[in-house]
Structure 1
Amino acid sequence: MSAEILLVFGILIVVIGVLVTEVMPLEVLAMLVLGVLAVTGLVSPTEALAGFSNPAVVTIWAVFILSGGLTRTGIANILGRNLLKVAGEGESRLILLVMFVAGGLSAFMNNVAVAALMLPVVMDICRKTGHPPSRMLMPLAYGSLLGGLTTMIGTPPNILVSEALRANDLTPFGLFDFTPVGIIVMVSGMLFITFVGIRLLPEKSAMADGEATGTGDVNLMLEQYHLEERLFRIHIPKDSPLVGHTLASSHLGSRLGLNVVGINRGRRSFLAPAASDEIMGDDELIVEGRLDRIQEMNNWGQLLTLSDLSRENILIEHGMKVAEIQLAAGSPWIGKTLSGLNFRNMFGLNVLELRRFERRIEYNVKSQQLRAGDVIVVHGPADKISELGQVEGIMAPVVLGLSDIHEDYALGRKVRILRVPNRSRLLGMSVSESRLGDALDVQVLSIIRESGEAIIPASDTIFEAGDMLVVSGMSDLIAVLLMQGLEAVFEKGTDGVNDISLLEDDKVGVLEVIVSPHSNLNDQTLDEINFREKFGLNVLAVWRKGRVIRTGLRDLQLQFGDALLLFGSWKKLAVLGREPDFVVLTETMQEPAREEKAKTALAIMAAVLLPVIFGWVPIYIAVVIGAACMVLTKCLTMDEAYRYIEWKAVFLIAGMLPLGVALDKTGAAAMVAENVITIMGPFGPYGVLFGLLSITFAATSIIPTAALVVLMVPIALQTSAGLGISPYPLMMGIAMAASSSFTSPISHPANVLVMGPGGYSFMDYVKLGLPLTLVILALLMIVIPVFWPMTV
């Protein structure tokens, strides 16, 4: 085994490991692979970059734009509205028709786009017929995948294997060469799902007949998210410090984790109140939150008492100082955050505020990216401040006097001194266990022991009786909470909210949305995108990969396929429906499609396909012209065209194609092919076909389909050459198997998309996907040799 083969196998192992674990973005992986292959000389620089101009890659991104044109012109909406008229309300007939419509569209559209487009249509059908979404949505996803098998442009693997044949001086597959095998597999798979597989699906969240809004039974929707036990009433006493505060300024959400979903005031009820609404005495708030968290905070009541010590000099007593430190131009801290530097634990100092060009930053200081010239105001022991002056890139600290602290910074007025009494439940508890900072957004600057020693507390510092806490960031509301308890702020009712359908009327309601496949919000938090402020909607819960997330939602990084349960006014929900980052699960709430352009979009698709069928124009030229025509005729805008391109897939394929070239050039593919022949060769060509199909089917559950095809193609070509058999059945089989991603939710984005609305768990996909995969494997072994003989 040569050094080159060892090197390419090493790169391949790392690539597969990253593809499976997703420890880095796949686009980044693709670019790194491309670069490493060129630097190591396994491929030439020109070959490394050739993937971006490869006809298969060009075809794929142009097909995404064509698919976007069909999506924005409402082709699926038109078909969906007529679906019930044809199918009636019988479950089996409905499921079969949903799959056939999805499959028919997927033959010429991106299957993820088809699933996203059909999802609200199918949800509306479920509401009108009372069928559970869990019985309809997985068939929808699988139907879109099966439909993609029937044409060359139906799925990227088909395009890739066709281009691989052309690149190896073989006749490529034509547009409809996949159709005979694909149609048989599609029809058989759909019949299996309808009459056998449907029995393996859960029956969850059956929907009742919807109101005019089309929302269905809100009780059942909230039951899926397990919110019944989290809804309760609280009463606001007339002397509560909350009276006169707006919901935003009360910080009930950010500090107590409570979502106020309604206010009962006298005989009137206000659902989905605005953040600017004021709280009044005797109000009854309907809130959603964690009872154990509230009880925990209630236990702090009267556990801290206000010390009678003067706070005028407290910041500079007991050996403590306040100082300014400035970042020099070449500081290694530039571009980093204080949180990332682990500043407090590393240097034993508090950060009071950050000054940047005369602008003072007091909130979220730890998450600010530091810049040259930034001035950090720190507090702590004098010796620690002196040591900080020795750090590279930090100018000498400037210690502040008492007048500077009070007049310039007004820091002293923001500090309170609290004493831990002997009966306090804080005794024996660490600072991190108390959660004072996390829950109430206060900072314990220092702890003064009974001995007079002052310390900067670490997360594991234990509270002792008689401790005095020097605390900053405390509002009057928090002072009341810490010293009197929640009873002084509000009274929790003895009963919960039994009839949660009260959360819905003609003005407000509950609705599910999905993070769109075309969203730009991946890895951003709701707090970072200002979701509450921008849309005026409450996020009650998130369904992600089979589990419900109901806490820490503000800081939860969004992912494609997340289902968000929203509460708010119908008008604001309708506004959200026009956002391309979300798919609202009812057609009436979506942005109106350009249905007047539907005939134009269909005419463009026909104009693209006909020249390809007759062999007048290569497909990669036809689809590029068609994509341009979609924009020129205003079936979609250029911004929408960019959004509909799955750039992750484009970069992944373009970056992985050189790895396939390296496998071929170094002889690594030939070596793998020899082992395949050695193991499966005694069983003949059919045994080799079965082996390659089995490997591809197994790998497609954990490796993106496009990357898998790029890796399998050189092995299949070398195997066919070694056995002296036709490469076409092997290539056809790899394309079909790679696109049959049924056995897990993560194996294909279409599966992820329906997971939340359907309430599916990981095992639900295995229960139906595994037997369906075995059926298709058996079918391919029978059908492929009939249409594509094994002999040359």
Structure 2
Amino acid sequence: MTPEILLVFGILVVVIVVLVTEVMPLEVLSMLVLGVLAITGLVTPTEALAGFSNPAVVTIWAVFILSGGLTRTGIANIIGRNMLKLSGTGDARMIMLIMVIAGGLSAFMNNVAVAALMLPVVMDIARKTGKSPSILLMPLAYGSLLGGLTTMIGTPPNILVSEALRTHGLTPFGLFDFSPVGLIVMVVGMLFITFVGTRFLPKHPPFEPERKGEKQVISQYRIQERLFRIHIPKQSALAGHTLASSHLGSRLGLNVIAINRGRKISLAPNSTDTILPDDELIVEGRLDRIQEMNNWGQLLSESVVPEENALLGFGMQVAEVRLSDDSPWLGKSLSELGFRNQYGLNVLEILRLGRQINMNVKSRKLIDGDVLVLHGPMASIKQLAETDGIMPPVVLNAEEVKEKYEKEKKIRLFSIPDTSRLLGMTVTESCLGDALDVQILEVIRKDGSAVVPASDLVFEPGDRLVVAGMSDLVGVLLMQGLEAVFDKDQAVVEDTSILQSDTVGFVEVILSPHSVLVGQTLQEIRFREKFGLNVLAFLRKGKVIRTGLRDLQIQLGDALLLYGQWKKLAVLGREPDFVVLTEKMQEVAREEKAKTALTIMAIVLLPVIFGWVPIYIAVVIGAAFMVLTNCLTMEEAYLYIEWKAVFLIAGMLPLGVALDKTGAALMVAEKVITILGPLGPYGVLFGLLSITFMGTSIIPTAALVVLMVPIALQTSAGLGISPYPLMMGIAMAASSSFTSPISHPANVLVMGPGGYKFMDYVKVGLPLTLVILALLMVIIPIFWPLVG
């Protein structure tokens, strides 16, 4: 084994680990790979960059634009509009029709775009026919994947294997060379899902046809369990404040979805609407949180702590400590570390990249270079200094503390009266500071000693609390207690129909597959401020999440329940980052351009079929005409290109070249021949198919094909068998991504709306994969003989 082979194998191992764990963006990985390959001399600089001009990559991004043109002109909408007329109400017929339409579209469109486009149509059909979305949505995703097998432009793996054949001096696959095998696999796969696979799908409650769609959504998310009424007394601290300045949403996690004032009810009020005495608020949230917060009303506000004692009184100090690049705290939050309990110190804020983070400090993941601003006894600070992974603490003097931190801290002193129900409770049991971003800095005992409160500290008679983080109305609420803000007799809202009208309602949305918001929180994207809509709940992997939504990172596959005015929901439907799961809220398609888009597609395909023009030239010209004829704008064209896939393929292609040039692919092929050769050509085909099927569950399909192609070509040459059946098998297996939600974006897309869990994909996808594996072993040698 040469040093070059060892090096390329080392790079390959790192690549596979990153692909599986996704510890960095795949686009970044691809750029690093081509850079490292060029620097190490495994490929020339020209070969390293050749992936971006590779005909396969050009074909892929141009097909994305063609697919975008068909999407924006409403081809799927037109078909879906007539779907219900043909499907009837029978489950099998409906499921088969959904898959056939999705599969037919995916033969010439990006299958992720097809799934996203058909999703609102299928959800509307489920509502109108009283079907559960869980029965229809996974077949939709799988139908789009199966349809992509039938043509060369149906899926990137087909394009890649065809181009690989051309690069190695062999006749590439034609546009419809995949059709004989792909059509048989598609038909058998659809029949299996319709009559067998659906038996393994979760049986969520079906929609009831006689009920409005909005009521169905409310029932699915169980919102009625968290709707209640609160009355605003005349002397309430909330009176006169707007909803935004009341902090009911940002601090207490309560969504005000209606204001009942006299005999008039205002639905989906704006954040600028003012709360008046005697208003009745209809609120969504945790009723028990209000009772927990009433514990603040058990405290007596003594005074504002004198400035000189705000942070440095009672023997306390403030210090800054920087995390080193090898700190074991990196990637963890203060809550996960149990920081205050373990070290007896408060973290006032985090200094990160020149900015101060003082909101949600406990839940922030720590990163390299963070500076923690600590508050507590000097002895605890010195003890922390002995911990590995942190730089020596810098203790601040009184002037530095006052200049840097005291100006921003609203600090008050509270005492616990002898009649308070807090006596005998622990800090955890009291929930003080849980709902509001308020911090108990220290508890001053009756004897004058002060301690930083651990979670198990028990409140005693005579205790005083030094509390930081109060501002404007929040401080008033803490002093008055919420019992003085709301009336005690909160009533549950049983009839949710009063919350819907011709102008206001509920709707379900998911992230678009083209969204750039993955991994961001609602607070970071300022969702409420931007769209004027309330997010009431998330549906993630079959589980409803209704608490802590502002700080929850949005994932692809999440479904969000929104409440607001229809006109604002319609604006959201035109946002490229979201897909609204009802067709009437979608951006109006350019259906007048549908015939133009279909004509362009036909003109692109005909010269390719007859061999007059290479496919990569034809699709580029077709993509240009999609824009020139206003089927879609240039901005939309950029949006429909899956840049992650383009960069990943372009960056991984040089790795395939390196595997070939260094002899690493030949070495692997020799191992394959040694192990599988005695079993004959069929054994080799079975082995390569099995490896590809297993790999597609954890590795992006395009990257998997790039890695498998040189091995397959070397294996076929070593055994003297035809490369075509092996390449056809790899393309089919790589595109059959059924066994997990993460194996293909189309699977993730339907996960939230369908209420699926990870194992639901395994239950249906694994047997389907085994059926397709057996089928490919039979039909590939018929159309593409292994020998001869």
TM-score range, shorter chain: 0.7 to 0.9
1:135 correspondence with 2:135 = yes
Deviation at 1:503, TM superposition (A): 2.7
What is the CA deviation profile of residues 233-262 of structure 1, one whole-angstrom value per residue up to 9, with x for unaligned ones?
223223222222222111111111111222
Q: Distance in 2 between matches of 1:412 and 1:194?
A: 62
1:297 correspondence with 2:293 = yes
The residue that corresponds to 2:368 in the other structure is none
Please point out which of 269, 272, 291 is paired with 1:273: 269
Deviation at 1:382, TM superposition (A): 9.9
Q: Distance in 2 between matches of 1:93 and 1:352?
A: 59
The residue that corresponds to 1:333 in the other structure is none
The residue that corresponds to 1:9 in the other structure is 9
Q: Distance in 2 between matches of 1:424 and 1:452?
A: 20
Deviation at 1:2, TM superposition (A): 3.3
The residue that corresponds to 2:696 in the other structure is 700
Q: What SS does the corresponding residue of 1:301 show, helix, strand or coil? A: helix
Going from structure 1 to structure 2, the CA distance change for 1:42 and 1:451 (only over 3 Å counts) comes to farther
Listed as ranges, the matches of 1:368-447 within 5 Å are: 399-400=398-399, 411=407, 414-421=410-417, 436-447=432-443
Q: Distance in 2 between matches of 1:324 and 1:300?
A: 29
The residue that corresponds to 1:507 in the other structure is 503
Q: Distance in 2 between matches of 1:720 and 1:423?
A: 86
Q: Distance in 1 between matches of 2:213 and 2:172?
A: 52
Q: Distance in 1 between matches of 2:747 and 2:187?
A: 19
The residue that corresponds to 2:104 in the other structure is 104
Say whether the 8 Å CA contact 2:510–2:579 is kept in structure 1: yes
Listed as ranges, the matches of 1:599-618 within 5 Å are: 599-618=595-614
The residue that corresponds to 1:306 in the other structure is 301
The residue that corresponds to 1:21 in the other structure is 21
What is the CA deviation profile of residues 720-746 of structure 1, one whole-angstrom value per residue up to 9, with x for unaligned ones?
112110010010011001101111111
What is the CA deviation profile of residues 312-352 of structure 1, one whole-angstrom value per residue up to 9, with x for unaligned ones?
65337737799999x9xxxxxxxx99x99x99999968769
Say whether the 8 Å CA contact 1:237–1:282 is kept in structure 2: yes
Going from structure 1 to structure 2, the CA distance change for 1:349 and 1:196 (only over 3 Å counts) comes to closer
1:284 correspondence with 2:287 = no
Please point out which of 229, 234, 243 is paired with 1:233: 229
Deviation at 1:582, TM superposition (A): 0.5
Listed as ranges, the matches of 1:41-440 within 5 Å are: 41-209=41-209, 216-302=212-298, 304-307=299-302, 311=306, 313-315=308-310, 318=313, 399-400=398-399, 411=407, 414-421=410-417, 436-440=432-436
Q: Distance in 1 between matches of 2:157 and 2:223?
A: 42
Deviation at 1:65, TM superposition (A): 0.9
Going from structure 1 to structure 2, the CA distance change for 1:348 and 1:310 (only over 3 Å counts) comes to closer
* RMSD between aligned residues: 4.1
Going from structure 1 to structure 2, the CA distance change for 1:546 and 1:714 (only over 3 Å counts) comes to farther
Q: Distance in 1 between matches of 2:58 and 2:343?
A: 51
Q: Distance in 2 between matches of 1:79 and 1:662?
A: 46
Q: Distance in 1 between matches of 2:447 and 2:754?
A: 61
What is the CA deviation profile of residues 185-240 of structure 1, one whole-angstrom value per residue up to 9, with x for unaligned ones?
112212222233233323324223478xxxx3434322322333222222322322
What is the CA deviation profile of residues 268-314 of structure 1, one whole-angstrom value per residue up to 9, with x for unaligned ones?
33222221222233333222212343333234431x22236874653
The residue that corresponds to 1:671 in the other structure is 667
Going from structure 1 to structure 2, the CA distance change for 1:410 and 1:142 (only over 3 Å counts) comes to closer
Q: Distance in 1 between matches of 2:549 and 2:666?
A: 51
Task: In structure 1, give the amino acid aligned to 2:88.
Answer: G
Q: Distance in 1 between matches of 2:194 and 2:363?
A: 52
1:39 correspondence with 2:39 = yes
With 699-708 and 474-483 compared, the bigger mean Cα shift is at 474-483
Gaps of 5+ in 1: 328-335, 370-374
What is the CA deviation profile of residues 163-202 of structure 1, one whole-angstrom value per residue up to 9, with x for unaligned ones?
1111111111111110111111112212222233233323
With 430-439 and 34-43 compared, the bigger mean Cα shift is at 430-439
Deviation at 1:680, TM superposition (A): 2.2
Deviation at 1:579, TM superposition (A): 0.7
Q: Distance in 1 between matches of 2:556 and 2:152?
A: 26
The residue that corresponds to 1:562 in the other structure is 558
Q: TM-score, normalised by structure 2?
A: 0.88
Q: Distance in 2 between matches of 1:650 and 1:766?
A: 28
Task: In structure 1, give the amino acid aligned to 2:90.
Answer: G
Q: Distance in 2 between matches of 1:610 and 1:353?
A: 62
Say whether the 8 Å CA contact 1:133–1:205 is kept in structure 2: no
Say whether the 8 Å CA contact 2:305–2:411 is kept in structure 1: no
1:626 correspondence with 2:622 = yes
Q: What SS does the corresponding residue of 1:31 show, helix, strand or coil? A: helix
With 441-450 and 421-430 compared, the bigger mean Cα shift is at 421-430
Q: Distance in 1 between matches of 2:373 and 2:200?
A: 62
Say whether the 8 Å CA contact 1:663–1:669 is kept in structure 2: yes
Deviation at 1:643, TM superposition (A): 1.0
Listed as ranges, the matches of 1:592-741 within 5 Å are: 592-741=588-737
With 429-438 and 769-778 compared, the bigger mean Cα shift is at 429-438
Going from structure 1 to structure 2, the CA distance change for 1:490 and 1:45 (only over 3 Å counts) comes to same
Task: In structure 2, give the amino acid aligned to 1:139.
Answer: P
Deviation at 1:679, TM superposition (A): 2.5
Q: Distance in 1 between matches of 2:318 and 2:739?
A: 60
With 494-503 and 740-749 compared, the bigger mean Cα shift is at 494-503
Going from structure 1 to structure 2, the CA distance change for 1:187 and 1:351 (only over 3 Å counts) comes to closer
What is the CA deviation profile of residues 38-77 of structure 1, one whole-angstrom value per residue up to 9, with x for unaligned ones?
3333323322222222111111111111111111111111
Deviation at 1:80, TM superposition (A): 1.2
Q: What SS does the corresponding residue of 1:506 show, helix, strand or coil? A: coil
With 345-354 and 768-777 compared, the bigger mean Cα shift is at 345-354
Q: Distance in 1 between matches of 2:292 and 2:67?
A: 52
Task: In structure 2, give the amino acid aligned to 1:497.
Answer: V
Deviation at 1:363, TM superposition (A): 7.0
Task: In structure 2, give the amino acid aligned to 1:72.
Answer: R
Say whether the 8 Å CA contact 1:520–1:581 is kept in structure 2: yes
Counting matched residue pairs gives 774
Q: What SS does the corresponding residue of 1:67 show, helix, strand or coil? A: helix
Q: What SS does the corresponding residue of 1:561 show, helix, strand or coil? A: coil
Deviation at 1:150, TM superposition (A): 0.6
Task: In structure 2, give the amino acid aligned to 1:64.
Answer: F
Going from structure 1 to structure 2, the CA distance change for 1:366 and 1:123 (only over 3 Å counts) comes to closer
1:777 correspondence with 2:773 = yes
What is the CA deviation profile of residues 552-608 of structure 1, one whole-angstrom value per residue up to 9, with x for unaligned ones?
110111122221111111111111111111011111111101111112211221221
The residue that corresponds to 1:372 in the other structure is none
Deviation at 1:706, TM superposition (A): 0.8
Deviation at 1:456, TM superposition (A): 6.3
The residue that corresponds to 1:764 in the other structure is 760
Going from structure 1 to structure 2, the CA distance change for 1:322 and 1:604 (only over 3 Å counts) comes to same
Going from structure 1 to structure 2, the CA distance change for 1:477 and 1:99 (only over 3 Å counts) comes to same
Going from structure 1 to structure 2, the CA distance change for 1:453 and 1:154 (only over 3 Å counts) comes to same
Going from structure 1 to structure 2, the CA distance change for 1:508 and 1:756 (only over 3 Å counts) comes to same
Deviation at 1:385, TM superposition (A): 12
Task: In structure 1, give the amino acid aligned to 2:465.
Answer: L
Say whether the 8 Å CA contact 1:228–1:498 is kept in structure 2: yes
Q: Distance in 2 between matches of 1:144 and 1:316?
A: 61
Q: Distance in 2 between matches of 1:3 and 1:401?
A: 57
Deviation at 1:622, TM superposition (A): 1.4
Q: Distance in 1 between matches of 2:498 and 2:38?
A: 63
Deviation at 1:627, TM superposition (A): 1.3
